[in-house]
């Protein structure tokens, strides 16, 4: 059953990746066409140039996500240790513009000495998924002074990465289902409900790590637990 589910996930992601590639390529083509047209018309506008560059940067970042998020069966270990804070910052780079656009404050609290030897690409994509979900909840609920906090700390047994927001938390009925395959509170055009399910499953199978969720005073926290040894 596990092999069949693995194959199903691979096929699902391959299909999604294929669907992403075409519009991303088209967007880059359109950006090039607009840039050329502005040049032909002799239009020089710093704002337009910066926006076109930002679109190009975002599409490149999304393309890299596709390349990074591979469902392989190899042992997920890096050749060298990576600083947790660097992994977090790389994850945020693809979301920084959308967070800034919606005036969502982002805080990082991670000691520079914290390192991991796990698959940094998988870990980064899970962090992206958690931040993306927090952003959507903040926007959907129109939260005043919205913020997302990403923190990392450790004890003698494990390293923990937390992604918390102030979006008001999750109801008990939804809390019990957030990691179910196919479950989503979003409209069908906005998400498949696979993000949290796949994140939890891949963390467990590839990194022997856990993903949990709990309500806090002003919102919700997702906690990644990476066991040591």
Which of 78 and 226 is assigned the larger pLDDT? Answer: 226
CATH code given to domain 77-227: 3.30.565.10
Highest mean pLDDT among 39-43, 162-166, 187-191: 162-166
Tokens of residue 50, six digits: 């910066």
* pLDDT digit string, tens, across residues 61-115: 677 666 655 544 444 455 567 899 999 998 888 788 788 888 999 999 998 899 9
CA distances 171 to 9, 13, 91, 164, 216, Å, are 28, 29, 28, 16, 12
pLDDT score, position 6: 52
On whether the CB atoms of residues 209 and 224 are closer than 8 A, the answer is yes
pLDDT at 117: 79
Considering the chain, what is the average pLDDT of its residues?
80
Task: Give the whole-angstrom CA distance, residue 102 versus residue 139.
Answer: 8
The pLDDT tens digits for 171-223 are 888 888 888 877 665 543 344 445 888 889 888 888 889 999 999 988 999 99
DSSP 185-218: SS-TTT--SHHHHHHHHHHHHHH-EEEEEEE-SS
Q: What is the rounded CA–CA span in Å between residue 104 and residue 159?
A: 26
**pTM score of the predicted model:** 0.72
Strand pairing class (105-110; 147-154): parallel
DSSP states of 27-41: HHHHHHHHHHHHHHT
Flag whether pLDDT at 164 surpasses 90.
yes
Q: Using alpha carbons, list the distances in angstroms from residue 78 to 24, 160, 170.
A: 29, 18, 35
pLDDT at 21 > cutoff 80? no
Of these ranges, 53-62, 69-78, 132-141, the one predicted with the greatest mean pLDDT is 132-141
**What 3-state class would DSSP assign to 71?**
coil
């Amino acid at each position: 059953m596990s092999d069949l589910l693995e194959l199903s996930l691979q096929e699902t992601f391959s299909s999604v990746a294929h669907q992403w590639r075409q519009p991303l390529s088209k967007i880059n083509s359109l950006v090039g066409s607009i840039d050329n047209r502005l040049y032909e018309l002799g239009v020089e506008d710093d704002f337009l140039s910066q926006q076109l560059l930002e679109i190009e940067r975002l599409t490149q970042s999304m393309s890299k996500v596709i390349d990074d998020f591979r469902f392989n069966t190899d042992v997920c270990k890096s050749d060298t240790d990576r600083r947790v804070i660097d992994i977090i910052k790389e994850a945020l780079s693809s979301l920084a513009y959308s967070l800034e656009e919606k005036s969502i404050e982002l805080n990082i609290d991670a000691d520079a000495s914290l390192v991991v030897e796990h698959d940094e690409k998988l870990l980064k994509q899970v962090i992206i998924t958690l931040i993306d979900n927090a952003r959507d909840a903040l926007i959907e609920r129109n939260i005043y002074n919205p913020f997302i906090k990403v923190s990392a700390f450790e004890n003698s047994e494990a390293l923990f990465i937390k992604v918390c927001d102030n979006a008001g938390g999750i109801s008990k009925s939804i809390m019990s289902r957030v990691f179910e395959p196919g479950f989503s509170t979003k409209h069908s055009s906005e998400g498949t409900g696979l993000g949290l399910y796949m994140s939890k499953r891949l963390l467990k199978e590839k990194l022997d790590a856990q993903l949990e969720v709990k309500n806090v005073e002003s919102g919700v926290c997702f906690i990644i637990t990476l066991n040591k040894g």
